[in-house]
Every structure is written in structure tokens, then in C-alpha cells.
Amino acid sequence: MTSRKRKLIGVAVRVWRSICLVALRAAECGRKQVLPPATPRRILLINPAHIGDIVISASLIPVLQCAYPSAQIGFATGSWSAFVLKSDPRIAFVHCIDQWRLNRSDAGVLSKMWQFKRTRRAALREIRALRYDIALCLYPWNPDLLDLAWTARIPVRVGFRHSVMAPLATLLVDRPTTPFMSIGAIQGELLRAILREPACLQYRRSSLPESSPEAIREVCALLGVPAINTIRYRVIHMGSGATNRELPPEFWGEVVRNRPDQRFLFTGRGSREAANIEAVVNRFENCINACDRLSWQGFVAAVRHADLLYGVESMAGHVAAAVGTRCVVAYSGLAGVARWRPDSSLATVVSCHLPCAPCNDIRGCPEMTCIRNVSPQDLLRFG
């Protein structure tokens, strides 16, 4: 795409956003508070973000099951995360909506916008047909897709007060500003607007369904064992959704070299991560390359039955927290360790704390000292 086209798209988006803001702010005065029903039939959770974010949001499911045991739970998310929910028996319905700003593919902006429009139309049709009683917009930044819940005519719509689309909500919650509050706890604050029994909030915890026999067999086949309990191993997940949060293959080679008595299972996805993993496993006999060789359920099973997971700031740490596996992960200073760390007492986060952290800049800086100054020994000290 040419620079001129990019500028024109940017201008069009800003003009449209300004028009929407004026209309929404004008409508705010007429917004009426609608209380949730005592026994809702269906509740929709909306989070268009990525795998780690969805694993975090899943911590709210036990709370909803406690408060409304008869309610069916649906989830609207990006197609890049939908498989996490489709394998979860606690989720009755999954709707895919690929918000273009959160789309990490290599497609152009116009292609991403078209994909968003197409998936939004399909998701809206599904959501309207199911007639949800409550919608919870969990993404604490824009876009939170409150407009999706409003267009679907869901009677009770809960969102954060700071949202651009806040006038479309029927119940608003202030986003907590406590610096050390985890993102899962922040999302949990939305539930206070609909819970008749606040005590149910004590059940908020990261969790994923038990692994199926098929998923466990996937792991056993890679490890070359008849049963998962006949071998001990550790998982290394090198990749991340943002490459500036990763550490080089040499770093992980040093981790393996210092633990010659351990067996390591390297997990990942895609050609880039495969090349990085190959650069390590080819040098050591105690490593197994599982890149692109495990389904989502197989990956979860591999993490669940591992002694320990090493990784970086990615979904892998959140999965470890959800299945009760000890993990040691290296974090950058981009978004704040306390807010985004795995929500588990079994998780240890290593980072190089700097005055500039968190910078809240997804691009980071050329130096990225906050993570590049982490050494293999920093991780090995904890496991």
C-alpha cells in the first residue's frame, strides 16, 4: 500500500471516529440503566484479543457458573483465538469476529477491514438469533466491541466507563487504576455490576478443561513413551506474539546446556519459530522439537504434565498458570509485569526493571534492555 493511500485511510478513520464520538456523547444523556435478570438464560463474553488474553478471561467462567448455574455462556473473539474456546465444554457458543486493529496477519489494512466487516456481520447474525440477556465487554481498551452488543440488541450491556463506546452500555464500571492489579482482576470488576452474590468472585481463577486421552496420546507419541507418567520433561516455549519480547536461540541453548540431566520439549508454531527451535535442538540430544506437531489440546496437555515451563511474555505462561504447572518466564517492560504476569503462585517472572518501564509502547525501543539483559542464569536460578 502506498503512503498516500495509507494517509487517506487514516484521515477517513479519524473523521468517522469523530462523527461517532459526537453521536455517542449526545446519546449518553438518554442512556438508561438496565438491571440484569435474576436468572439469565444466556451470557455473552466479548474479548477480541489473542490467545493469552482469552485464557485470562476464562478465569471469569467459574464466577458466572457460581452466580448463574443454569445460564449458557457464549464468547465472541477473534478467529485466531476461537479454538481455545471451542475445546472448552463450559462454553456453549463461540462467535468469531476479527477486529482489524488486533489482526496480526501480514494482510494489508484494507484486507483486514474487509475481514472485520465480513466476520462481524456473521457474528452479529448468530448473536441476535441466540437472544443473549447479558453482554460483558472484557477488553479494557478500545476496541471493546460494545457496539456489537448494542447492535445485537442485548438488553444488559456491561463495559468500562472510559470506553469510546461507553454510551452504548447499560451498566458502566470504572476501570481500576491500581498499578499492581492483574488484568484478570480488572476484568473481574465488570462482574460486580451483575452479581447478586459478590462472594462468587472468590472463584475467579485461571483454569482450562482437563486434557482428553487423545491429547495426552499426542504428547506421548512425541516423547516416545507409552504413558505420560513414565517420563519427566520440561517445556520451552520460545515464541511470542511480538518478536521484540523474544530471546535468541543462543539464550535457550545455554538453558539446555546447563540442565543436561533434563529432557526438553520445545513448542511453537510457524516457520520462524520452527527455524529458531531447530537452531537449538540440533545441538543437543535431550531436546525434542514439537513445533507445529501438537494441536491446541495437545499443547495444553504437554504443559499440564511438564515439571516446569520456561518461556517469555506469551500465552504459554498463562496456560501454565491455568493448568497448575510451575513456570519461569522472562518479561519485557512494555506493558507492566504486575498487570500481565501469569495469575498463579507457581509462576515466577524475571525482568530487568528500568525507570522507563512500563513504557506502554508495543513497538518498544531498539535496545529492549528490559528483556535482553535477562540472562539464562536468571531463569535457571528458579528452576
Can you give the pTM of this predicted structure?
0.90
- In tens, the pLDDT along 43-99 reads 999 999 999 999 999 999 999 999 999 999 999 999 999 999 998 999 999 999 999
Fold match, 31-203 / 213-380: yes
Question: Residue written as cell 444466556?
Answer: 42
Contact between 245 and 349 under an 8 Å Cβ cutoff? The reply is no
Cα distances from 113 to residues 103, 107, 137, 150, 209, in angstroms, run 9, 10, 21, 20, 34
> Which CATH code fits 213-380?
3.40.50.2000
What is the H or E stretch that residue 237 is in?
Answer: strand 234-237
Q: Among 21-35, 130-144, 260-274, where is mean pLDDT lowest?
A: 21-35
Structural domain boundaries of the chain?
31-203, 213-380
Nearest to 339 by CA among 169, 183, 164: 183
- How many Å apart are CA 140 and CA 24, to the nearest integer? 18
What SS3 state is found at 75? strand
- In tens, the pLDDT along 166-197 reads 999 999 999 888 878 999 999 999 999 999 88
**One CATH from 3.40.50.2300, 3.40.50.720, 1.10.8.870, 3.40.50.2000 for 31-203:** 3.40.50.2000
Q: Which letter does DSSP use for residue 243 in this model?
A: G
